Chain A
Amino acid sequence: METTKKRSPWINWTIFLITVVVVFVLGMLASTIAERRVETEYIYTPRVQLTQWEPRNEVWGENFPAEYTSFMNTRDTSFRSKYNGNATIDMLEVDPRMVVLWAGYGFSKDYTQARGHYYAITDMNNTLRVGAPGIDEPEPMPATCWTCKSPDVPRLMNKVGITEFYAGKWSRWGEEIVNPIGCADCHDSKTMDLRISRPALIEAFERQGKDITQATHQEMRSLVCAQCHVEYYFNKDLPGKEGVQYLTFPWDKGMQVEDMIAYYDEIGFSDWTHKISKTPMLKAQHPGYETWITGTHAKRGVTCADCHMPFMSKGGQKYTDHHIQSPLNNIANSCQVCHRESAEKLTEFVYDKMDKVITQRDELEKMLVRAHVEAGHAWEFGATQKQMDPIQKFIRHAQFRWDYAAASHGAAFHNSIEILRIISAGMQEAQQARVELAALLTTIGAPYPVPYPDIETKAKAQQYVGLPMEKLHADKQQFLKQMVPQWEEAASRREEAWEVVYY
């Protein structure tokens, strides 16, 4: 055979190069197929030995990279849902009425939506509510406030004892508590089983005659959250522990809002006295667990983790997504495991519930502002404590219900009917307070109606309740500049001394 034409060399080179590329790509394809064939075969090989109260999340991360990496995603602050999300939101700016409702209490100074668990320590140092220890004394908050913020807490409790941990002021543990909420808060380091690390939940169970060690794994997937996402108070009168602000859950009469009100009334507890109406008030914290447990998802056995930390499979390995967040930012992996509707439709369902609850909550809020202001007027015009007693009782109960609905955040979704029931009962009480106030004001000859205060903005509202905001901010800045770096330095010196043992 004879070739008639001579090919120019560049054609051969081109063919050569194409061949190289094709073989290379085929090789890559073959190796990914081979990889994906075997990736389900997995052997757990821990790298470090974990001690029982290891508070440093990054050390656990050496053994559990998938979980740790997803936990670190709680740094994200870019998601805003219709009302919440993981961004910093100044709630008092959004809703200045709260400043009046909390007049005389720390929350009227500063109430910023918490970011992800990663920021637990930073956000606490930053808030005006804990004051500026070392700059402006005496400091307002007790050591107990740290309880939910860090895996350093169980470490310390184990070292100094529970009561001793709660004793003293907040700044006492500034050097000791530096790692944000993480691994050791919920896990046993030897077995990786879920574990309750906070005594308040165990004690609350005991008083109810229940043994928390008998909880099933599925129950534990909510109970570890219930260590913190619950309503609580600081009991100063525990026999033998007087003066210590002992963290306690008000569950002895039951876990409904009425049960808690009855509990607080019986022991005569109040968080603070309202600056305007002089009412002994209750602050609801965040009864997330108590409200969730009444809802449909809970009744179907769906736990906190199922939606807020859904299972993931990557590279054939199943793990729990430790990016704890609003499922609204992760509908595809949470809701849609069970619900076949589109993400848009599911979001719409949730927002619809939230809209309805929040509209009613706002109405109750306005009533409460009026009730406080009118009660303030009654005092000015010479009302007596005896006349005010029944009115204050209505205000106290109504505001606890309002706070219960507001602070339970997700409850508008977890059980909208229960929350609307709580709000409507609160409205009844607030209205009752105002009816009695109207009668009282007329009796004592005070002018009626009482004008609604100008609380359009956070600044106006804070001025109205008489807060020295400039000083609070200045002290805080100084505290962050002077004290916090000292704390951090002391902590890193301590942690450097802890040896990490590799296998």
Chain B
Amino acid sequence: MASMFHFLIPPPTWRLPAAIVMGAIVGLGLYTFRISNAVSYLSDRPETCINCHVMNPQYASWFHSAHREYATCNDCHVPQTNPVASYAFKAMDGARHATIFTLRTEPQVIQIKDAGAAVVQENCKRCHARVNENVHTMKVSFRMAQHDQGQLCWDCHREVPHGRVSSLSTSTYARVPRLGSAVPPWLKNIMQKDKE
């Protein structure tokens, strides 16, 4: 281990250029971090989900639903069993979404995948269990539904909460929070003053 570490330390003559190059990489990494709003992904804020504009229709439909008052995106779409499961699921889903978005391979109609549907079903039951204690369907899991042993919540409640008509082009002009400029306001102010 120690020899490994030694191997990475450059010889004295190389230290200055190595430091500059490493600085460039870290700096560029930080810049990427900033413009991709990377830190926001640790939070539960729904605005995080529209860092990529393909989710704007989902944000807009949620924003106009009753669920807005009680549930964020993550309350339904991320497992709430324990923090490890939450972050693991979020990381996996997020990495997949980021890759698809970066490669511009998003489909026109985004549909939930099986893993996501299983999570949502459990989260419906998590909040609505009390209200619907005596309703048999509250016992149905995604796996059971797949084997025709019951219906998922949204097989009947089909409008909840995103509506039934959805594609990248639905509610394109909805007024959702915008990302705005990546340049911090103080820098903008300085530049503005310079111009004057």
Closest 9 CB pairs of A and B: A311-B169, A313-B168, A318-B172, A333-B108, A337-B167, A30-B32, A336-B109, A26-B28, A318-B169
Chain B, 2-34, contact with A by CB distance < 8 Å: what is the 0/1 string? 000000000110100000010011001101100
In the assembled complex, which residues on chain A have CB atoms less than 8 Å from the CB atom of B170?
A: 311, 337
Report Cα–Cα, A3/B9, bound state, in Å.
9
Are A33 and B32 touching (Cβ within 8 A)? yes
Q: Please, which residue of chain B has its CB at the minimum distance from the CB of A39? A: B53
- The answer, yes or no, to whether A338 is at the interface (CB within 8 Å) is yes
Interface residues of A (CB under 8 A from B): 1, 3, 6-7, 12, 16, 19, 22-23, 26-27, 29-30, 32-34, 36-37, 39-40, 310-313, 315-316, 318, 332-333, 336-338, 340
Scoring B31, B165, B169 by chain A CB atoms within 10 A of each residue's CB, the highest score goes to: B169
Whose C-beta in chain A lies nearest to the C-beta of B103? A32
Bound CA–CA A30/B31 (angstroms): 7
Assess A33 versus B109: contact at CB under 8 Å? Given A26-B29, A311-B169. Answer: no
Q: Give Cα A318–Cα B53 distance, bound, in whole angstroms.
A: 12
The reply to whether A3 and B35 contact each other, CB–CB distance below 8 Å, is no
Q: Would you give 9 A-B contacts (Cβ < 8 Å), ordered by A?
A: A3-B11, A26-B25, A30-B35, A310-B108, A311-B169, A318-B172, A332-B108, A338-B165, A340-B111
Write the chain A residue with the least CB distance to B18. Answer: A15
The smallest C-beta distance from B172 to any residue of chain A, in angstroms, reads 4
The chain B residue sitting closest to A12, CB to CB, is B14
> Are A22 and B32 also in contact (CB < 8 A) when A29-B102, A336-B111, A337-B165 are?
no
Collect the chain B residues with CB atoms within 8 Å of residue A318's CB.
168-169, 172
Instruction: Give the B interface residue count (CB, 8 A).
Output: 33
In the bound complex, residues from chain A placing their C-beta under 8 Å from that of B169 are 310-313, 318
With A7-B11, A29-B102, A336-B109 already in contact, the answer to whether A34 and B28 are too (CB < 8 A) is: no
The residue in chain A whose Cβ has the minimal distance to the Cβ of B108 is: A333
Q: Which residues of B contact A340 (CB under 8 A)?
A: 111
- A7 contacts across to B, CB distance below 8 A: 11
Q: Is B52 an interface residue (CB 8 A)?
A: yes
8 further A-B contacts with Cβ under 8 Å, apart from A39-B53, A313-B172, are A7-B11, A22-B25, A23-B25, A33-B102, A36-B102, A40-B53, A337-B109, A337-B167
Q: A315 vs B172: C-alpha distance in the bound complex, in angstroms?
A: 12
CA of A424 to CA of B52, assembled, Å: 54
A220 to chain B, nearest CB (A): 18
CA distance in complex: A313, B109 (Å): 10
B21: nearest residue on chain A (CB-CB)?
A19
Tell me if B115 counts as interface (CB < 8 A to partner A): no
Taking CB atoms, residues of chain A closer than 8 Å to B101 are 36
Q: Is B11 a contact partner of A23 (Cβ separation < 8 A)?
A: no
User: With a CB–CB cut-off of 8 A, which chain B residues contact A336?
Assistant: 109, 111, 167
Which residues on the A side are within 8 Å of B135 (C-beta)?
A: none
Report the Cα distance A234→B38, complex, angstroms.
67
Q: Are the CB atoms of B167 and A311 closer together than 8 Å?
A: yes
Residues of A near B107 (CB, < 8 A) are 332
What's the nearest-Cβ distance from chain A to residue B24, in Å? 6
B32:A29 contact, CB within 8 angstroms: yes
Q: Please give me the residue from chain A that is nearest to B52 by CB atom.
A: A36
Q: Contacts A19-B21, A37-B35, A337-B167 given; indicate if A1 touches B14 (C-beta within 8 A).
A: no
Docked pose: A392 CA to B102 CA in angstroms? 67
A19 to chain B, nearest CB (A): 5
Q: Are B182 and A27 in contact (CB under 8 A)?
A: no
